[in-house]
Amino acid sequence: MKYVVVGGAGFIGSNLVDKLIENKNEVTIIDNFTTGKKSNLNPKASVLELDVSNISNYDKIVHSMRGADTVFMLAAKARVQPSIENPLEYEINNTIGTLNILKCASDAKVRRFVYSASSSAYGDSKKLPLKENFDANPMSPYGAQKFYGEVMCKVFAKVYQIQTVSLRYFNVYGERQNIDGAYALVMGIFIYQRLNNQPMTINGDGEQRRDFTYVGDVVSANILASSSENVGNGEVINIGNGDNRSVNQIAEMIGGPKINLDPILEPNETLADNSLAKKLLNWEPTQKIEDWVKKYKKEIGLD
């Protein structure tokens, strides 16, 4: 089977590519390497280096997709705070990029489009766990852009007859996670700081809680979403562990000194109701964060 992974040099995308190739599939990666890394590339994959938000690349993208069963859309400029600082840059990349790839996939007669959405669409909901039928209330340009991608997936399923499904990820961690730069999340930031003998910096009191989800489980959800007969009409599905940990707990798992900074604009707590993923995809998370962090610390020499 042929698959196209847009953003296949990134953290989640490269892990997905590896699993697809392990399963004896043909894979084409599309990436512009602004956040993806060439060191993440699987040598058995074909690579098309270009910017998907540039619509002049339409013909090249369509050509690369012909004969593909599924397009996985993982390319995006991620994280809330940088999107607040650079909303126009994020809008062009995340909104136009997604729309361009949707149109290319439709015109290339791809069967299914699996979109990487984000739990940031929920905003700061006081009602937990978060369910897919809750109103979207994003707190940032990034959250709004990712939610708009879901909307367009539903539109394309209805108007252009391409099967679509959107997976709302909750705080993904695991192998190849970014540990430095603007796109690192809290665990990656803490790891980088400890490797460089710096204190871990905690925004606010550190009691904000997140549903941390292992990248291998996210990869599994993508593959199941590409094959399940229960989806294809623009469904939105939470991909979260179904439990959460505070930032302070993550710091304690990693170990070392920490300092508190001023709070930032962010939800106080996220927690996924993942029952729909179990129902429609037959998906369940498999990894406990405490077990993975313990193993990871040994691998990188922090233990």
Tokens standing for residue 137: 């209330």
Tell me the angle at which helices 289-300 and 186-195 cross, rounded to the nearest 10 degrees: 30
Average pLDDT along the chain: 95
- CA–CA dist 250, 293 (Å, integer): 9
Q: Tell me, which fold does domain 173-211+244-267+288-300 have in CATH?
A: UDP-galactose 4-epimerase; domain 1 (3.90.25)
For strand 209-210 and strand 245-246, is the pairing parallel, antiparallel, or unpaired?
antiparallel
Per-residue pLDDT at 265:
81
Confidence of residue 168 (pLDDT cuts 50, 70, 90): very high
- The mean pLDDT value for 282-302 works out to 95
The answer to pTM > 0.85 is: yes
**pLDDT at residue 180 in the model:** 76
pLDDT greater than 90 at residue 296: yes
Instruction: Write the DSSP assignment of 241-302 as a string of letters.
Output: -S--EEHHHHHHHH-S-EEEE---S--SB--B--HHHHHHH-------HHHHHHHHHHHHT-
Q: Region 214-231: what's the mean pLDDT?
A: 98
CA dihedral 26, 111, 79, 252 (to 10 degrees): -60
pLDDT-derived band at 84 (thresholds 50, 70, 90) equals confident
Which stretches of 181-237 are DSSP H helices? 186-195, 215-227
pLDDT value for 80:
74
pLDDT higher for 242 or 79?
A: 242
Alpha helices in the chain (DSSP H): 11-22, 58-65, 80-85, 87-91, 97-107, 141-159, 186-195, 215-227, 247-254, 275-281, 289-300
To the nearest 10°, report the CA torsion of 153, 31, 195, 254.
Answer: 20
pLDDT at 139: 92
User: Which residue is associated with the tokens 């809680």?
Assistant: 209
Tell me: cis bond preceding 267? Omega within 30 of 0 counts. Answer: no
Model confidence at 266, in pLDDT bands (50, 70, 90)? confident
Which residues belong to CATH 3.90.25.10 in the chain? 173-211+244-267+288-300
Which amino acids are annotated catalytic? 142
pLDDT digit string (tens) for 184-221? 789 999 999 999 999 999 999 999 999 999 999 999 99
Name the CATH superfamily housing domain 2-172+213-239.
NAD(P)-binding Rossmann-like Domain (3.40.50.720)
Q: Tokens 């890394």 correspond to what residue?
A: 37
pLDDT digits (tens, 9 = 90+) for 58-71: 999 999 999 999 99
| Among 137-141, 186-190, 278-282, the range of highest mean pLDDT | 278-282
Where along the chain do the CATH 3.40.50.720 domains lie?
Answer: 2-172+213-239
> Cβ(172)–Cβ(210) under 8 Å?
no
Q: How far is CA 156 from CA 46, 186, 237, in A?
A: 27, 34, 17
Give residue 182's pLDDT: 61
Handedness of CA 73, 76, 81, 87 (dihedral sign): negative
pLDDT at 181: 67
pLDDT, position 158: 98
| pLDDT single digits (tens) 177-193 | 988 766 678 999 999 99
The pLDDT of residue 50 is above 90: yes
| Closest of 80, 283, 287, 273 to residue 175, by C-alpha | 287
